[in-house]
Structure 1
Amino acid sequence: MPRDIPEAAPQVDDTASGENSVHAGARHAATTDITPEPAPGPARRTTAPHFLHAARTTSVQARKARRQWAAVVALTLLLCVQIVLADRARLATQATWRPLVMALCGAFRCDVPTWREPTAFTMLSRDVRPILGQPGTLQAQATFRNDARWAQAWPVILLTLKDADGRTLGARALQPDDYLPQDERPVPIGPGQSAQMAVRIREPSANVVAFSFDFR
């Protein structure tokens, strides 16, 4: 009885198999190792970075703004000085503004009106008496002090003559030219400085027994 001859197992082409494995490995390697190239970006600029350019622009603008503000402040101060100097005659009569006016006029060499404060004069002594040998003529004299903060011009002095009952018999407002020597040029009376006045007046009545001095 014939024996069954086993069929030969199919031979595997090792070469082919090896090639397939190698190729498969190559394909796998190619798949895992190759990454897509990045898309081309914009061309690089040759100038400085944008933030540096912006910083330079900001610095320049800041310096320009500071110069402009300085010019505005200077012009404003100049305008204020001109206003004060133009109105110095009125401002100099106010105790608040006078120091500033004096400082500005000291710098710009302008004249400051003399301070006028009659109530700041203090009477130190006064007297009215007849002149011997000159009937009907009285000699009035007084010493007073300037207690103001600034120098003052010589005041106008109101001399009033009264009788025993306090009735006014005569009054006269004496200007500095009336009671100062004609050859003496009146200069302002400084703060704390004393001054004297003397004048002859006609007696309005023989009943004059009282008198008063008031500063105007």
Structure 2
Amino acid sequence: MNYRTTCPQCASVFRLGADQFEAAQGWVQCSVCGAAFDARPSLLMEDGSPLPLVAEPEPIDVLPSPEIAPPAELEATEPEPSTTEETPEAVLDAEDAAVTDMPRGIAQREVSLDLPSIILIDPDIPVPDDPGPLPQFYPAPAYPRAPDAPVYPFTPIAPAAPSPPTARIEYAAPLRDAARIPSAPRRVNPWVWSVASVLLLLVLLAQTAYFLRDTLVSRLPQTRPAFEQACAVLGCTLSLPKNLALLQIVGSDLQTETSGRLNLVLTLGNRANHAQAWPMLVLTLTDQRNRPLARRSFAPSEYLGDTQRIAAGMPPRSEQALSLPLTVRDLAPMGFDLQLTY
């Protein structure tokens, strides 16, 4: 036989075996929330029906005592005269047989009960007022107190909290088809969420500033001193600003020399109020119909050749004259196109 019970903490429904329930004396532990509880108040049958009621003993019907017929009915039929005369002993035997034929319950009730433990008291007997000599109590002998015995102050001991009965706790598994009511989630104070949100926002801003430091310095040059101090602490590098909108090609010319050599002469202008990184030059040679014949990009190390000048960048509000020698084979360019890029 199996039973079912409900956890009072999380309202989970479990199945219990009859042997488990009797061994644990009704105490079980929920396998969902871990609460120990008495399963007897919420105990039901396995199908959810209430426990069957214990049948009460049926009352025993008392047989009515047989009524003695009146003398008139007894005299309705006269017995035949017997030739023998009945003796007193025969009359007693007949009465004993009649008593034996009576119902057993009636015979037991007519017999006097022997109650040796009941003491009968006559209410008419006067009770004496003198109870007799009273007991005498003598004081206990006083023992001498030890002089060196330490005296400790009395410290009341707090009563221990009642503990559940020490019985074996059975871990019951929840029923498959039983609906489980989820417990109410604990609410967190609003200020905890506020502090956590601010900390997460600060961490996000710090990561963005670290990985996009070059872009931020290019767009916000006034923040460069702060980023330089931060990089000195963190051990990172900070590149020069790169803003093509503030760079300008003031003039350019492609000069033809002997034996297929060309010389590109140009002037770069920095219109920013701060130094900027040197750009890359993208040169495209075209024919007389302005169709591209060749294209190549030149890094700052190819048209400058000075590492200190490259690291310092283009000075603010300045124009720089540059010269780039070229070697062309099997080409007869008639024009060119020059672009700046990073």
TM-score by length of 2: 0.35
Match of 1:164 among 265, 285, 288: 288
Instruction: Determine if the alignment matches structure 1 residue 189 to structure 2 residue 310.
Output: no
8 Å contact 2:253–2:266 — kept in the other structure?
A: yes
Query: Is the Cα–Cα contact under 8 Å of residues 88 and 101 in structure 1 kept in the other structure?
Result: no
- Structure 1: which amino acid aligns with 2:336? F
- What is residue 115 of structure 1 aligned with on the other side? 241
Q: 1:148 to 1:102 in 2, by over 3 A?
A: same
Matching residue's letter, 2:280 = V
Pairing of 1:58-77 with structure 2 (within 5 A): none
Counterpart of 2:271 in structure 1 is: 147
Q: Which amino acid aligns with 1:158?
A: V
State the structure with more CA Rg.
Answer: 2
Question: Aligned partners of 2:267, 2:208: CA distance in 1, in Å?
Answer: 37
Tell me which residue corresponds to 2:21. Answer: none
Distance 1:100 1:154, change over 3 A: closer
- With over 3 angstroms needed to count, the CA separation of the structure-2 counterparts of 1:82 and 1:109, relative to structure 1, is farther
Cα drift, residue 152 of structure 1:
1.2
Report the residue type matching 1:163 in the other structure: D
> 1:159: how far off?
0.8
Q: Given the superposition, is the C-alpha separation of residues 150 and 81 from structure 1 closer, same or farther in structure 2, using an over 3 Å criterion?
A: farther
Q: Percent identity?
A: 22
Which one-letter code corresponds to 1:210 in the other structure? G
The more displaced of 168-177 and 109-118 is 109-118
Structure 1 unaligned residues grouped into runs of 5+: 1-72
Which amino acid in 2 is paired with 1:179?
A: Y
- In the TM superposition, 1:90-109 aligns within 5 A as 90-94=212-216, 98-99=220-221, 101-108=223-230
- Aligned residue type for 2:314: I
3-state SS, counterpart of residue 94 of structure 1 = helix
Counting only pairs closer than 5 Å after superposition, residues 32-47 of structure 1 correspond to structure 2 as: none
Q: Which residue of 2 aligns with 1:174?
A: 298
Aligned equivalent of 2:332, options 180, 183, 207: 207
For 2:295 and 2:218, locate their aligned partners in 1 and report how far apart those are by CA, in whole Å: 35
- Is this contact kept in 2: 1:169–1:205, CA < 8 A? no
Q: CA separation of 1:100/1:179 partners in 2, compared to 1, >3 Å: closer, same or farther?
A: closer
Q: CA RMSD in A?
A: 3.3
Do the aligned partners of residues 184 and 124 (structure 1) sit closer, same or farther apart at CA in structure 2, a change above 3 Å counting? same
Shift of 1:196: 2.4
**In 1: Cα distance, 2:218 partner to 2:294 partner:** 39
Shift of 1:82: 9.9
What residue ranges of structure 2 are gaps of 5+ in the alignment? 1-194
* Counterpart-to-counterpart distance in 1, 2:259 and 2:306: 24
Q: How has the CA–CA distance of structure 1 residues 192 and 81 changed in structure 2, closer, same or farther, with 3 Å as cutoff? A: farther
* Aligned equivalents of 2:299, 2:218: Cα separation in 1: 28
Deviation (angstroms), 1:184: 5.9
Q: Deviations over 1:70-93 (max 9, x none)?
A: xxx9xx79x959954873451441
Q: Which one of 254, 262, 270 corresponds to residue 128 of structure 1?
A: 254
Whether the 8 Å CA contact 1:161–1:212 is kept in 2: the answer is yes
Q: Sort the Cα spacing of 1:99 and 1:129 in 2 relative to 1 into closer, same or farther, 3 A.
A: closer
Q: What whole-Å deviation, never above 9, does each CA across 1:34-92 have from its counterpart, x for those lacking one?
A: xxxxxxxxxxxxxxxxxxxxxxxxxxxxxxxxxxxxxxx9xx79x95995487345144
CA deviation after TM superposition for structure 1 residue 199, in Å: 1.4
Query: Could you tell me how far apart the structure 2 residues matched to 1:204 and 1:127 are?
Result: 19
Question: Larger relative CO (CA 8 A, sep 6+): 1 or 2?
Answer: 1
**Shift of residue 210, structure 1, vs aligned partner:** 0.7
Q: CA deviation at 1:128?
A: 0.8
